[in-house]
Structure 1
Amino acid sequence: MLLGAWPLGGKNSLAPTKSGKGRLLALIGVYSVFIILGAAIFSSIEAPKMADLAENIQALRAKFTKQNKCLNDEDLEAFLTEVVKANDRGISPLRNASNELNWGFGQALFFASTVVTTIGYGRVTPLSQTGKIFCMIYATIGIPLTLVLLTAVVERLLLPANWLLGKLNAKLGHLYQPFNIRLMHLSIIILIIAILFFMIPTVVFANIEPSWGMLDAFYYCFISLTTIGLGDYIPGEGVTQENRSLYKICITIYLVCGLIAMMLALTVFYDIPQLNLGQLFTESSGGESEKLRLSGSSAPCYSGPSGLYIPQRDEEVRRAVVRIRPHGDESPSPDEPLPPTTQKDAIP
């Protein structure tokens, strides 16, 4: 347990036993090594595959040029360049292509949602200068607005989540430690999210998208809901996709709801002090204790209706105490001046 590394008694217990700055530097070093190691592994796995694809396309081009000797190589290069540009803009050069253009309403709605949620697949981008300017203005307003919306919805969802935690405490509190109950609560939340936003959508996408397998569909869900947004797999991009606008609208709703679910899971995760590793790297300043550590490990709690277990900040507890403090004549508030008779009696 992380809390076991900190002294719990005495005046000096407010100071960490090890420099927060040193731990932060160590974390930066480990993170840098992690990035470099990941790059090396990705390169070793993907570089041979890319080399094979490049070799195959060059061989195919050489074969095509050889079979069509009257075709100039420069003309072929110019033609392929235009084909690639058109394909990137949603215009398929294939004969049986029947899908809508990228900037139909459904696709535009899908693009707007990927902008404000910062998923940003990158497959569809504004073409005009006016569109690029509007995209920047739209993102500047839309990203904070989206964060406010997601946060507000997560706050509402925490009510049933905390209700579930209260039920677990009431049923299992005499059998397990609070930390174990919090882990059980987190596992239930994650399991529900995994079923609703990963397993079920994986099956749906694998059946709707003709070229996707189960792994491809799950990969898309993971990359999207973690806001990585690589853009290598995007649903509804097939040249024969029917009802593309409606399909894109449904995907937009899925992405927004999925991001809310991910934020809920992270909130429940970081509400467990022992799992909040960020508190280890917050250094105290001016002799004060680490605020994040203290707020996570020693914040008072109260039981609400049905045994609801809700952590509270010191300020919230103070206000609660003030609200329930009696204000009769026999116990005046310390914040209020004494009545004239009491002041007179107090003077010798």
Structure 2
Amino acid sequence: MCSGKTCQVILLALGYIIYLLAGAAVFQMLEHEAENTTKTETQRHKLAFLTNYTCLTQDALEQLVKVITEAVKQGIYPLGNESISKHSNWDFSSSIFFAGTVVTTIGYGTLAPRTAGGQIFCVFYALFGIPLNVIVLGYVGKSLSLWCGKLGKCLYKRGIQKRRAKILTILFFLVTGILVFLGLPPIVFTRMEGWNYREGVYYAFITLSTIGFGDYVGPTPTEITHPIVLWSLFGLYLDWPGLPFCLTY
């Protein structure tokens, strides 16, 4: 027989593994067929392109696709000569956007340093920036905890039971955070980026949870830098740290 603590660790590990396996199974069921459909459509378009342009060989087409794929990986979207020449992923506003994704550990993956100097600097920048970000999050969280306490005391003084006042305070911050950072921003994103509301909610959650897949970022960093950096920073500093501290105030 194992000790109580050992059994807890084993059960926790088994639960974690089962959770991962269950998630993998659901994702596979939901996404695998769509992936195969995309593969089939892509192959069909390639064959149709070769049929319409007989002067282009298979190898030439594959080389073109390779060049375009590499460009997209580096954040360059070759949809026209004008867009390539005018837009820069590393103007100052776009660099602010990137710096914000580094220290908040969002890491979309659509923008990354390619030079040796940029990569080395990124390592040291993140090495100091991420702990600084955690310190700021903790400080803001404690401030929110004080606000929770003041609101709870205010409700208590108005004749509401202490337990109920605490529950109402937590619900207030929870609902306000969800509305301000997950409910309303997608409405703006639908107009800025042409997404539907579901995609906007998905993007908001993936960003604020710092998962940062990078599948939804926007057409160009320059167009979204200021509103999205401000929203994501305020969301991280005001929303996510607030609830845990409110629960313990």
Q: TM-score with structure 2 length normalisation?
A: 0.91
Residue 203 of structure 1 corresponds to: 187
Q: Aligned pairs, how many?
A: 244
Q: Secondary structure at the match of 1:94?
A: coil
Q: Does 1:182 align with 2:160?
A: no
Residue 278 of structure 1 corresponds to: none
Taking a change above 3 Å as real, the CA distance of residues 43 and 71 of structure 1, as seen in their structure-2 partners, is same
Instruction: Report if the CA contact (8 A) 2:89-2:222 is conserved.
Output: no
CA RMSD of aligned residues (A): 1.9
Instruction: Report if the CA contact (8 A) 1:89-1:102 is conserved.
Output: no
Which residues of structure 1 form unaligned runs of 5+? Answer: 1-17, 239-243, 272-309, 311-348
The 1-side partners of 2:167 and 2:144 are apart by 18
Q: Secondary structure at the match of 1:262?
A: coil
Q: Does 1:128 align with 2:105?
A: no
Q: Does 1:63 align with 2:48?
A: yes
Residue 254 of structure 1 corresponds to: 231
- Superposed CA deviations along residues 32-65 of structure 1, whole A, max 9, x for unmatched, are 1011000011001100000000011001101111
The 1-side partners of 2:104 and 2:168 are apart by 30
The 2-side partners of 1:33 and 1:120 are apart by 27
- Superposed CA deviations along residues 141-167 of structure 1, whole A, max 9, x for unmatched, are 100011111211222222222101112
Residue 276 of structure 1 corresponds to: none
The 1-side partners of 2:159 and 2:246 are apart by 19
Question: What letter is aligned with 1:222?
Answer: F
Sequence identity percentage: 30
Residue 157 of structure 1 corresponds to: 144
Match of 1:223 among 186, 201, 206: 206
Q: Secondary structure at the match of 2:71?
A: helix
User: By percentage of residues, which structure has more helix?
Assistant: 2
Question: What letter is aligned with 1:51?
Answer: N
Match of 1:167 among 147, 154, 164: 154
Taking a change above 3 Å as real, the CA distance of residues 43 and 133 of structure 1, as seen in their structure-2 partners, is same
Q: TM-score with structure 1 length normalisation?
A: 0.66
Give runs of aligned pairs for residues 1-348 of structure 1, distance below 5 A: 19-95=4-80, 98=83, 100-174=87-161, 178=163, 180-210=164-194, 212-235=195-218, 237-238=219-220, 245=222, 247-260=224-237, 261-269=239-247, 271=248
The 1-side partners of 2:172 and 2:73 are apart by 42
Residue 281 of structure 1 corresponds to: none
TM-fit CA distance, 1:27: 1.8
Question: What letter is aligned with 2:245?
Answer: T
The 1-side partners of 2:4 and 2:159 are apart by 38
- Superposed CA deviations along residues 221-258 of structure 1, whole A, max 9, x for unmatched, are 011101111111013x25xxxxx636302211111110
Instruction: Report if the CA contact (8 A) 1:114-1:121 is conserved.
Output: yes
Of residues 91-100 and 113-122 in structure 1, the stretch that sits farther from structure 2 once superposed is: 91-100
Taking a change above 3 Å as real, the CA distance of residues 251 and 79 of structure 1, as seen in their structure-2 partners, is same
TM-fit CA distance, 1:88: 2.6
The 1-side partners of 2:42 and 2:153 are apart by 61
Taking a change above 3 Å as real, the CA distance of residues 97 and 88 of structure 1, as seen in their structure-2 partners, is farther
Instruction: Report if the CA contact (8 A) 2:156-2:165 is conserved.
Output: yes
Which of the two has higher C-alpha Rg? Answer: 1
The 2-side partners of 1:37 and 1:107 are apart by 38
The 2-side partners of 1:72 and 1:223 are apart by 41
